[in-house]
Structure 1
Amino acid sequence: MRLLAVDDDPVVLDLLKLIFKSADLPEVSVTSSAVLALEMLSNPDFEFDGLILDISMPEMSGIELCRLVRRMPRYQHKPILMLTSVMDTASVESAFAAGADDYITKPFDVKDIVARVRVAERMTQKSQPVAMIDRDLCKETDKPGLHQFSIEDPLRIHGAPQLIQPFALGNYLCQLSRRRLDNCVLFAVQLCDIDTLYQTCKTHELARGLHGVVTAVSEVVKCPTMLTAYEGSGILMCITLGSEPPAWPEMEYRVRDAIAAQNLCRDDGTKMCLEVAVGNPITPSASRYQRVNKTFERTRSRVHTRMQSTHAQSEAEADDDDGQISSA
């Protein structure tokens, strides 16, 4: 695994090289210039397996560099770790939104560096990168229900606001300090009829519907530091930091209204059924041990319970309507 580290501080670069060598980590190349880093990444004869980028750099921030790197086809799926100072944690969410997968806080501990690089190694060893779908990418060969991914697969949705990969969302939650955890809330949004949408939509139509759901959640919550991830099976995982989401279940009603206002349709003009359930928000587990798995599982359980309740209520209302018709 070949890594490129970019930081304008030569002391940090020297320290990284020393840590990598002493900890038997993968080979690391270094540069103090974001512009030079872009030139190195553009070399067609050499390809890095991952990057470490300092967030605060004078000529170009690490966030902007991350955004430009993600536009390079060869680096769309490579792990990107950000370096940030303890006083600049507010930039972390922006870095993730730009395409980062993880971060390390300076001054860093050797154990932290080793742990996060090992996580990046595991990411590169994954056999299949998360697929990207685009609502504007219509192919003549597209057929309803025929997709290059399964219904359970996580997805990246081109242009969807505040959406990152589930792997990155887990890293973000894992790295939150105890102080920041106190201001953190999670909730999940479930597309109730994802099976029908998957079976009857073309890929770009499914992207259109999912993009609409993510956009509606972003508009309703109105939290600039919110991060979301589509983890498959119609579930959108959401984390807000620093501001409470709207009261529940009012939030669910407002998200439904925001989706309906978009009037999302298939190519033939038929309206998409995009009913959603929103789980009651929770606070994450404080313990770092299995924080991600336990917190995400609780969040899924909340939205699953909500969806069952919504389904039962819909069936009861339908039975009442049938009874009234019969009486008439």
Structure 2
Amino acid sequence: MKLLAVDDDPILLSILEQMISESGDHTITTTQNPLEAIKLARSANKPFDCFLLDIEMPEMDGIELCAELRKLGKYRKTPILMITAMSEKHHIDAAFNAGATDYINKPLEQSELRARLSLVSRAVNEGRNKASKIFAVNALKNGAGAGQDAKTPLHEPFDIEDVTGVIEVNAFENYLRRLSRSALFGSTVFAFSIQRISELHAELSTFDFKALMADVSEAISDCLSSHQYLMTYAGGGTFICVTEGGWIPKPQDFTEDVHHALRKMDLFSGKGERLIIRLAAGDMVRLSWRPGDGAISAIGEAHISAERRAAHLANDLLDPGLWYAERTA
């Protein structure tokens, strides 16, 4: 992989160069200046495959640099690893909100760096393969003169941009997996699933479906705005949230708040049809004393419970009287 590392400490950069040279077939460029890093990233003929950014730097810190790199179109999905000696959770939260993919604690350890770069390399290769397949499908469609909409698979997660607190699903999992036991204390993970999502997916174009998921995430984000949280779109019309500080929403009340926010948006499809969106909340799963893979299991529990609840409520709505009441609410 082609890497760019940014740290104001030349000694750490030297150590990092040595470690990376022993961690696989990688090339690394280093700089102590965040502004220089932006110039290097922008002017690179062959884009960088991964960035390693120190959080604490003068003039422009790593969190600000991360946000600036995400503004460059070719680096919207490039893995960004934050390197930090900071233990304060709010710095980690800010980094993920700015677009970080993962983070590594100082002092650096060779085995951890090698493992993390191996995961990044795998993700980069998978991304390239996926892009090649998309290009091939589009070329085939264009060659055939087809005008049909290429559907994104229902259960495939995709990035939702420009919504506060929403990060991509791999970053969300990395965030929870790396948090310490003490950092997880008082945190809760829960999920919301859209009812009758299969019908919506079948009826809407890909553009309309993705726009709808963005609208729903914005409604949830607005309702969470007075709390500290992160959220991701997990695919299949399901949104997973984590909050901290001991706050646990009351599922029914919070869901109604989200429904109210959605009604205020006055949503329509591209065909001009009004969209009535109903969500279902799953179980509230406390993360205390569930670090690492335990936190990932908690995500799964929240996800499954929300989807089951949505399926149950959707079946209830098959009653004509209830469905009419929903449409006229």
After TM superposition, is the score higher than 0.5? yes
Using the size of structure 1 for normalisation, the TM-score is: 0.84
Given the alignment, which residue of 174, 180, 183 partners 2:183? Answer: 180
Q: Which runs of 5+ in 2 are unaligned?
A: 132-144
**1 or 2, which has the higher helix percentage?**
2
- Cα deviations by residue, 1:265-295 (Å, 9 ceiling, x for unpaired): 1234321121111112102384556335422
Q: Retained in 2: the 8 A contact 1:185–1:241?
A: yes
Q: Does structure 1 retain, via aligned residues, the 8 Å contact 2:180–2:291?
A: no
1:239 equivalent in alignment to 2:242: yes
- Structure 1 residues 25 and 84: alpha-carbon distance in aligned structure 2, compared to 1, 3 A threshold: farther
Is residue 285–residue 291 contact of structure 1 (8 Å, CA) maintained in 2?
A: no
Structure 1 pair 10–321 and aligned structure 2 pair: CA distance change class (3 A): closer
Contact 2:184 2:291 in 1 (8 A): no
User: How far apart in 1 are the matches of 2:174 and 2:108?
Assistant: 16
Matched residues in 2 for 1:23 and 1:158: separation?
A: 33
1:45 paired residue number: 45
Task: Check whether the contact 2:191–2:281 (CA below 8 A) recurs between aligned residues.
Answer: yes
Q: 1:183: how far off?
A: 2.3
The reply to whether residue 80 of structure 1 matches residue 43 of structure 2 is: no
User: Shift of residue 37 of structure 1?
Assistant: 0.6
Cα deviations across residues 137-169 of structure 1 (Å, max 9, x unaligned)? xxxx998x8235211211112322222111111
Conservation of the 8 A alpha-carbon contact between 1:142 and 1:202: no
Aligned residue runs from structure 1 range 75-114, under 5 A:
75-114=75-114
Cα pair distance change 1:36/1:320, threshold 3 Å:
closer
Task: Work out the CA distance in 1 between the residues paired with 2:146 and 2:63.
Answer: 35
CA distance in 2, matches of 1:200, 1:24: 47
Structure 1 residue 26: deviation in Å? 2.6
For the 8 Å contact 2:154–2:201, the answer to whether it is kept is: yes
Q: After superposing the two structures, state which structure 1 stretch, 223-232 or 189-198, moved more.
A: 223-232
Contact 1:187 1:279 in 2 (8 A): yes
1:159 to 2:165 alignment: no
Question: CA 1:91 to 1:319, structure 2 compared with 1: closer, same or farther past 3 Å?
Answer: closer
SS at match of 1:81: strand
C-alpha separation in 1, matches of 2:300 and 2:87: 31
Is residue 2:130 matched to residue 1:128? Answer: yes
Contact map agreement 2:154 2:236 (CA 8 A) in 1? yes
Question: Could you list the runs of 5+ residues in structure 1 that have no partner in the other structure?
Answer: 130-140, 323-328
1:261/1:142 CA distance change after superposition, 3 Å: farther
Query: Secondary structure at the residue paired with 1:231?
Result: strand
Would you say how many aligned residue pairs link Structure 1 and Structure 2? Answer: 310
Partner Cα distance (1:248, 1:6) in 2? 43
Partner of 1:201: 204
Deviations 1:173-202 (A, max 9, x none): 110111111122111110112222222223
Q: Contact 2:89–2:183 at 8 Å: present in 1 too?
A: no
Q: 195-204 or 178-187: which moved more?
A: 195-204
**Structure 2 partner of 1:138:** none
The separation in 2 between residues aligned to 1:286 and 1:183, in whole angstroms, is: 10
The alignment status of 1:278 with 2:281, answered yes or no, reads yes
**Quick one: distance in 1 between partners of 2:292 and 2:227?**
28
1:213 corresponds in structure 2 to: 216
Tell me, in whole angstroms, the C-alpha distance in 1 between the residues paired with 2:75 and 2:294: 29
Paired position in structure 1 for 2:27: 27
Shift of 1:321: 9.4
CA contact 1:185–1:282 (8 Å) conserved in 2? yes
TM-score, structure 2 normalization? 0.84
The 1:279/1:319 distance shift into structure 2, 3 A limit, reads closer
Return the offset for 1:62: 1.4
Tell me how far apart the structure 2 counterparts of residues 254 and 304 of structure 1 sit (CA, whole Å): 19
Residue aligned with 2:117, SS? helix
Change beyond 3 A, Cα 1:287–1:221 = closer
Shift of 1:51: 0.4
2:314 alignment partner, one of 297, 311, 319: 311
